[in-house]
Structure 1
Amino acid sequence: MSNLLATGSSALLAFQRALSTVSHNVANLNTPGYSRQRTEFAARDGTYFGYGYQGNGVQITDVRRMADSLATSRLLDSTGELSRLQQLSVMSSRIDVLFSETATGISAPWSGFFDSVSALSSNAAGSADRESMLAQANALATRFRQLDSHLDSLDGEVNQGLVAGVSEVNRLATEIAQLNGRIGSNSAHASGDLLDRRDYLVSQLVGFTGGNAIAQDGGQLNVFTAGGQPLVVGTAASKLVTTTDPYRPDRLQLALETSGQRVNLDQRAMGGQMGGLLEFRSTVLDPALAELGRIAVSMAQTFNTGHKAGVDQYGQMGADLFNIPAPRVAAHAGNSGSAVVQASVADLASFTGGNVLLRYDGSAWQASNPDTGAAIALSGSGTATDPWQVNGVSLVLASGTPATNDRFLLQPSAGAAGAISVAITDPARIAAATPVRSSAGLGNTGSGKLSGLAVNDASNPSLRDSVDIEFLDAGQYTIDGAGPFAYSAGQSISYNGWSITLDAAPAAGDSFTISATGANSSDNGNALALAALDDARILNGGSLTLNGAIGGLTTMVGSAARQADYSAEAQQAIQDQAQAARDSVSGVNLDEEAADLMRLQQAYQAAAQIVSAADNTFQTLLSAVRR
């Protein structure tokens, strides 16, 4: 009878605990990272009664946490990569929208400006057309500045994201280290809920930094960044901090403080959200800033050169239409020398806009790519008369003396778009006319007529001097009495920085005069040349037009955004598969739990009947004894 009661009691207790486990699973259906638990039953050791062993009921041997370490590891790896790609996709898409939308892109004001130049070439003396061109120039310069400002804002958001991420990483690492301590050296006897909580926190941590988690003997987890730096080792958590870029104090980088030492993290080796931010900055934002600046500088410098080759309505040679900033040269924060390096754009055909690292090794200067370390050709000696030449930029050691290992970062075009502005305010200062004009002698008898007058060198000091050309016969001419010079039909005559050509053949005694263009001229020669500059092949060694560069920038940004989006979608599919694999083992299924609940409830009721039967038997015995 006592055996019957003990057996029933053990069953009641076991099924009660099993029911508690099922209810715990159902209660945590929506708890992030929860792994369902299962009660393990085992028969109690039997008692030997001479004729054999009699069973003593049931006992709970374990409340097992249903988890697959391989599935958890796959999900962890996928989580870090998905966070990186999603962050990269979101930020890249914002730049794509910025450049592709008509309201924010560069194409509309660019077209508006060159259309206004074309309109001026049709009415060079028109004040309204001059006002329109100046207004469109200001609109284009404003759009360049706005785009540069928006890109700078995104750079600031990257900084903010790093600061917020550092705070979360340190919080998560500290809590994981504490859980490692609570779990102790034997995770086999640790609470399943504690293990779930730790796995969930590790997943969140990897979502910020990428990397992986490695279990020690006994079950404590060590967490490392994607670059292999330790975030959590046992019960010790490292501290992630932000540091300033040695060349740009306004830009943040990441470092890890562990065991009293600070280790600068390789920005290219970070994963997770923070790695996505850093990758966006280095592979999308910085190239966009550099290319936007290269286009702005190239357009402004090309237009300035063309504008200075014309004459304004005051009869004076044109000046710069745009103000152009000099390329940035930033000294490393650790430089010990006093050297100051200045830069200027020298050759647009070779002007790439790519960053260059200059380093003084104690005896000579070297140039390299700051991202890859690859050497870059550097010519010249760095003096004013023989400047260094690298990627279309001239560099001069303006003052001071360099120390060994002093470094300078040349950013030829980054930020240049933000400093472009219009240099003139008076519409009459627009140089639409050719600096010189030509006229034929009234007594000319030949069929030769001036068909083309072009300025080849606007800087020639004698460009606007009056010059007389007289033909001795169809094959000879003099210039201001000098000569004679041989002439053949169709030949170009060049002098003082200009050139002319004649249609048909001149006769003996024919004369032509080249003189300076006066004030209030309606000549449109220079305006026509300016209007064609956006299709001039001046970039990439003379193979790319300014219009082509605008299209290339939009395509580059759009391609980067689409690629990031495609990669994020593919990784999401991998993440879903990894999550499904984990949930198939650890996830709570309400149908299964309901079935278990009904089965255990029936078993509990049956065990109660055993106890009831034992009680009835005992009461029968008591009644018999009382009689």
Structure 2
Amino acid sequence: MMTLFSNLYLGLSALRSQQLALSIAGNNVANVNTPGYSRQRAIMAELDPLQISEGQLGRGVRILEINAARDRFIEARLVKENQGLGQFDIMNQNLQQIEALFADSGGTGIRDALTKFFNSFSDLANNPTSIATRQQVLIAGNNVAGSIRNSYAQMVTTQSIANQGIKTTIDQINGLTDQIAKLNTQVASVEALGQDSTRFRDQRQLLVGQLGQLANISYMENDARMVTVQINGRSLVENGNATALAATLPPSGSPNFTITMNGNNITSEVTSGKLGGLLQVRDVNIPGYLQTLDTMAGALITQVNTIHSGGFDLTRAVGGSFFTPPSVGASAAQTIAVAITDPARIAAATTLPPSGPPGDNSNARALANLATARISSLGSVTFSEYYGTLVARVGGQAREAADGLKTQRQIVRQVQNLRDSVSGVSLDEEMASIIQYQKAYEASARFVSIVNALTDETIRILGSGR
């Protein structure tokens, strides 16, 4: 009887274990498309055998633990690569927009406007007394000034949007770190009770991955089963506590946010992720473009005004400034505008006849020759060549971002596939496991049924013997 009851217990342990393993496999299938889910396995172990005179008698099986398939090194690599992906992605978006400003499509760009502006002085040199031709000079001047101002303004707008994006991203980071800190507490509490924390761990790792797309973080798990998340050695999350980042306006009056943590400016310490990409665009790329455009606009104003003020207009008056000079501290590209409204005031001549309007065209010719003149303040290149270097720089950096994004996507995809091969759910494998557990359960149930029948028969025989 003792052996029969032991066999009954053995069979029941098998039923319970196979049933639980079957449930786990079913849960894997149910979560095949759940982001961040790690495949679970029921790790079975033989129960301690029963010592009998003939030797050891097996007592069945138990679930030792529910194990989540996870490789910490692969997960850390995925977080690291996602930092680069987040950076290249946001840089590509912004630089593609800026590149479109300098496309000169449809003859509406700065390069085309410069060409038409200098050509209008060539036309004026051919007909210096024509009011209609002079009007075209004013139109061309307003067009080139407007094109420069518009490009400058749109880049400033893009810079402002990136600045607001920094604040938004900081808010996202703070939201994620708060959630990670709470999950730290849940993981530690659950595991302290000896219970399974896989679900909380999966959620936490998913959030750490999302955080990695936003900034250059590092993380590690401590002995208390909590992750510490840092940015350049500064703890964003430690145990159950999160330290918030802040978007702070500097005392200088600049509209650009600085990133502070516990009152310390850590802007320069953010080097990758979406936040790092936004800082690169706002503080490096766009300021460089604005400075180049401003230098060109300043040179254009100076060169044109210098020649124009040395000539005479149709009223025999000395020519003044063609473009309004920028005020002290103002951006030339932001404020460039034609100062003349009366076409008769364009100084096309350098000499005055004894009487009547000037018919000399030498000043207009000198202004037209600026198209091919090498300007010392621009590095001894022409206006067109200098502008071409700006266009090439914008295009080159936009291509670098696009190529970097393409490469980084491939790397992330490869690491993600590696992670999925370890932690992801394979429907084929799960179906094979389900069939295996099903057959084991059926066999165990059959075994219990047989033992139960034998027990009943033994009881019947013993009962009738009395």
Alignment TM class, shorter chain as reference: over 0.9
Post-superposition Cα deviations, 1:200-243, rounded to whole Å, max 9, x if no partner, equal 11111121112211222232111112x33221112111111111
**Unaligned stretches of 5+ residues in structure 2:** none
Query: Distance in 2 between the 1:537 and 1:110 partners?
Result: 15
Query: Distance in 2 between the 1:522 and 1:541 partners?
Result: 33
Q: Is 1:215 the counterpart of 2:238 in the alignment?
A: no
Post-superposition Cα deviations, 1:273-297, rounded to whole Å, max 9, x if no partner, equal 0110001122211111111111111
Between structure 1 and structure 2, the one with the greater Rg is: 1
Partners of 1:311 and 1:517 within 8 A in 2:
no
Query: Distance in 1 between the 2:236 and 2:97 partners?
Result: 31
Match of 1:356 in 2: none
Match of 1:28 in 2: 31
Match of 2:312 in 1: 311
Residues 99 and 517 of structure 1: CA distance in aligned 2, closer, same or farther (over 3 Å): farther
Residues 556 and 519 of structure 1: CA distance in aligned 2, closer, same or farther (over 3 Å): farther
Query: Which residue identity lines up with residue 10 of structure 1 in the other structure?
Result: S
Match of 2:345 in 1: 429
Query: Which residue identity lines up with residue 203 of structure 1 in the other structure?
Result: G
**Unaligned stretches of 5+ residues in structure 1:** 329-412, 437-515
Q: CA deviation at 1:621?
A: 3.0
Post-superposition Cα deviations, 1:292-346, rounded to whole Å, max 9, x if no partner, equal 1111111111101111111100001111111132353xxxxxxxxxxxxxxxxxx
Partners of 1:435 and 1:517 within 8 A in 2:
no
Query: Which residue identity lines up with residue 298 of structure 2 in the other structure?
Result: V
Q: Is 1:110 the counterpart of 2:94 in the alignment?
A: no
Other structure's SS at 1:63 match? strand
Q: CA deviation at 1:267?
A: 3.0
Of all paired residues, the percent bearing the same amino acid is 34
Post-superposition Cα deviations, 1:447-482, rounded to whole Å, max 9, x if no partner, equal xxxxxxxxxxxxxxxxxxxxxxxxxxxxxxxxxxxx
Post-superposition Cα deviations, 1:386-420, rounded to whole Å, max 9, x if no partner, equal xxxxxxxxxxxxxxxxxxxxxxxxxxx8x431211
Residues 539 and 39 of structure 1: CA distance in aligned 2, closer, same or farther (over 3 Å): farther
Q: Is 1:64 the counterpart of 2:67 in the alignment?
A: yes
Q: CA deviation at 1:622?
A: 4.3
Other structure's SS at 2:311 match? coil
1:184 counterpart (185, 188, 195): 188
Q: Relative to total residues, which structure has the larger helix share, 1 or 2? A: 2
Residues 416 and 253 of structure 1: CA distance in aligned 2, closer, same or farther (over 3 Å): farther
1:230 counterpart (222, 226, 235): 235
Map 1:436-451; keep pairs closer than 5 Å. 436=352
Match of 2:336 in 1: 420
Residues 584 and 424 of structure 1: CA distance in aligned 2, closer, same or farther (over 3 Å): same
Other structure's SS at 1:532 match? helix
Q: Is 1:526 the counterpart of 2:358 in the alignment?
A: no
Partners of 1:315 and 1:517 within 8 A in 2:
no
Match of 1:445 in 2: none
Other structure's SS at 1:184 match? helix
Q: CA deviation at 1:249?
A: 2.7
Query: Distance in 2 between the 1:518 and 1:550 partners?
Result: 42
Post-superposition Cα deviations, 1:575-604, rounded to whole Å, max 9, x if no partner, equal 222212211211111111111111111111
Query: Which residue identity lines up with residue 299 of structure 2 in the other structure?
Result: S
Query: Which residue identity lines up with residue 208 of structure 2 in the other structure?
Result: V
Query: Which residue identity lines up with residue 288 of structure 2 in the other structure?
Result: P
Partners of 1:231 and 1:238 within 8 A in 2:
yes
Partners of 1:309 and 1:435 within 8 A in 2:
no
Query: Distance in 2 between the 1:215 and 1:85 partners?
Result: 28
Q: Is 1:574 the counterpart of 2:411 in the alignment?
A: yes
Map 1:229-268; keep pairs closer than 5 Å. 229-257=234-262, 262-267=263-268
Q: CA deviation at 1:540?
A: 4.8
Over 4 Å off, 4+ runs? 185-190, 516-519
Other structure's SS at 2:102 match? helix
Partners of 1:102 and 1:108 within 8 A in 2:
no
Residues 518 and 240 of structure 1: CA distance in aligned 2, closer, same or farther (over 3 Å): farther
Under a length normalisation based on structure 2, what TM-score does the superposition of the two structures give?
Answer: 0.94
Q: Is 1:206 the counterpart of 2:215 in the alignment?
A: no
Other structure's SS at 1:64 match? strand
Query: Distance in 1 between the 2:306 and 2:32 partners?
Result: 71
Query: Which residue identity lines up with residue 385 of structure 2 in the other structure?
Result: G
Residues 326 and 190 of structure 1: CA distance in aligned 2, closer, same or farther (over 3 Å): farther
Residues 556 and 246 of structure 1: CA distance in aligned 2, closer, same or farther (over 3 Å): farther
Residues 327 and 584 of structure 1: CA distance in aligned 2, closer, same or farther (over 3 Å): farther
Partners of 1:113 and 1:136 within 8 A in 2:
yes
Residues 313 and 616 of structure 1: CA distance in aligned 2, closer, same or farther (over 3 Å): same
Other structure's SS at 1:142 match? helix
2:386 counterpart (540, 549, 554): 549
Under a length normalisation based on structure 1, what TM-score does the superposition of the two structures give?
Answer: 0.70
Residues 194 and 542 of structure 1: CA distance in aligned 2, closer, same or farther (over 3 Å): closer
Residues 517 and 318 of structure 1: CA distance in aligned 2, closer, same or farther (over 3 Å): farther
Partners of 2:92 and 2:401 within 8 A in 1:
yes
Number of equivalenced pairs: 458
Q: Is 1:539 the counterpart of 2:455 in the alignment?
A: no
Match of 2:298 in 1: 297
Query: Distance in 1 between the 2:103 and 2:186 partners?
Result: 54
2:164 counterpart (160, 165, 169): 160
Q: CA deviation at 1:116?
A: 1.4
Partners of 1:317 and 1:431 within 8 A in 2:
yes
Q: Is 1:99 the counterpart of 2:102 in the alignment?
A: yes
Query: Distance in 2 between the 1:49 and 1:55 partners?
Result: 10
Query: Distance in 2 between the 1:530 and 1:517 partners?
Result: 24
Residues 518 and 251 of structure 1: CA distance in aligned 2, closer, same or farther (over 3 Å): farther
1:618 counterpart (455, 462, 465): 455
Other structure's SS at 1:232 match? strand
Partners of 2:96 and 2:398 within 8 A in 1:
yes
Query: Distance in 1 between the 2:394 and 2:459 partners?
Result: 92
Q: Is 1:134 the counterpart of 2:138 in the alignment?
A: yes
Partners of 1:539 and 1:545 within 8 A in 2:
no
RMSD across aligned C-alpha pairs, in angstroms? Answer: 1.9
Query: Which residue identity lines up with residue 436 of structure 2 in the other structure?
Result: R
1:119 counterpart (123, 133, 144): 123
Query: Distance in 1 between the 2:328 and 2:276 partners?
Result: 29
Query: Distance in 1 between the 2:47 and 2:29 partners?
Result: 29
Q: Relative to total residues, which structure has the larger strand share, 1 or 2? A: 1
Give the number of the structure with larger relative contact order, counting CA–CA contacts within 8 Å between residues 6 or more apart: 2
Query: Distance in 1 between the 2:379 and 2:242 partners?
Result: 56
Other structure's SS at 1:56 match? coil
